[in-house]
Structure 1
């Protein structure tokens, strides 16, 4: 889909989303839930990170932060490649452990429509898994700043304040014609790394450290 078409489609969704809800999902948006617990030293930089900046948290510094039970999450995913499968499994396992309320949207047929469907469910957070979603989300997220997004294993070239990303060496797909990093390695998408990335990313969103890239060691 050409970018101008994506922009037009995203603008149309502004009217579609106003006052709307759908099933499955939740009836209305709510104030962002507070986290349970606090991160350890090294999770955040000494001064608040600048928008679009990259921060490397200390390993495990996010372990003390948990989403409240019933945290509303939509997993937006596309593709059946091995790295995406690892990310999807990690999100589902995290949701089961934390008792988050999880819905899944498979956006293979139309990624813009998939993102709209995810937003219409009124979640607390939309987690994206699948490199192909990067370019569509670059358009959609900029037009819906009231919705929180977490991109795992990839990042937007120019994220807005409502988009948090988690990346590492071997991942870092950026879209916008930039494509995959030179060091891209599907083998770097291990279950352990994906699990840590999901937990660190959710902790960052919950604690208000948003609109940045967390770089995992």
Structure 2
């Protein structure tokens, strides 16, 4: 009986490790090389004659980001707050992108009464990238991100009013929430958070971060 039990446990452990669900697959504490991008952005992503300025806005050509993919083992934390339809659409887009690109994804849902603690939890995981989805996170991010310049952030479906070089945003007219008491944009439209637009936000934003175009806003009205 004992030998049979040991054999069953051994098989279960081996299966867990092989599927990446065991302790070795979940451990982000081990040192590793810096993440790399596979591929490069296409024509029209940025204007070759005029590099975007810090906090500047670019309007990449639709699909110009499709040639960029994260390297193996890219670690991403999806930081989210809120259950409104736009936030849910963004969350699904990030999850779908992570699955398609085989990204090592973890999710942190920030509590409504302490959003900063959620951001801190995400930072403490030391991912390659933190992707933020949910308008209520914008103001807390504006406070926290400037103190963690070595951590890259991507805000999808919103933007920070004055981002530091480690904060990139993918936004459009129907989203364009900036926080800091500015209120909701007059062009805000929850219906604009379509699967296509949300997918473009995560893919274009991740491509920008992976290729070093950070601290800017990607304006996606042309999608």
Aligned length: 194
Gaps of 5+ in 1: 1-23
CA distance in 1, matches of 2:160, 2:200: 20
CA RMSD across the alignment: 1.3
Aligned residue runs from structure 1 range 87-106, under 5 A: 87-106=90-109
CA distance in 2, matches of 1:60, 1:133: 28
- Pick from 97, 118, 122 the counterpart of residue 118 of structure 1: 122
CA distance in 1, matches of 2:193, 2:150: 30
Residues 29 and 123 in structure 1, CA contact (< 8 A), matched pair in contact too: no
SS in 1 for 2:70: coil
- Pick from 71, 81, 91 the counterpart of residue 78 of structure 1: 81
| Residue 202 (str. 1) matches residue 196 (str. 2) | no
Q: Structure 2 length as normaliser, TM-score?
A: 0.84
CA distance in 1, matches of 2:136, 2:32: 29
- Pick from 198, 205, 211 the counterpart of residue 215 of structure 2: 211
CA distance in 2, matches of 1:112, 1:26: 22
Aligned residue runs from structure 1 range 99-178, under 5 A: 99-109=102-112, 110-178=114-182
- Pick from 37, 40, 48 the counterpart of residue 39 of structure 2: 37
CA distance in 2, matches of 1:108, 1:175: 18
Runs of 4+ in structure 1 deviating by more than 6 angstroms, as ranges, are: none
Partner of 2:20: none
CA distance in 2, matches of 1:102, 1:83: 20
Residues 51 and 161 in structure 1, CA contact (< 8 A), matched pair in contact too: yes
Partner of 2:197: 193
Q: Structure 1 length as normaliser, TM-score?
A: 0.86
CA distance in 1, matches of 2:32, 2:47: 29
CA distance in 1, matches of 2:67, 2:134: 27
Partner of 1:58: 61
Deviations 1:92-145, CA, capped at 9 Å, x for gaps? 000000000000000024210000000110100000000000000001101110
Partner of 1:184: 188
Relative contact order: is structure 1 or structure 2 higher (C-alpha 8 Å, sep ≥ 6)?
Answer: 1
Residues 42 and 58 in structure 1, CA contact (< 8 A), matched pair in contact too: yes
Post-superposition shift, 1:69?
2.4
Post-superposition shift, 1:70?
1.4
CA distance in 1, matches of 2:147, 2:111: 21
CA distance in 2, matches of 1:115, 1:53: 24
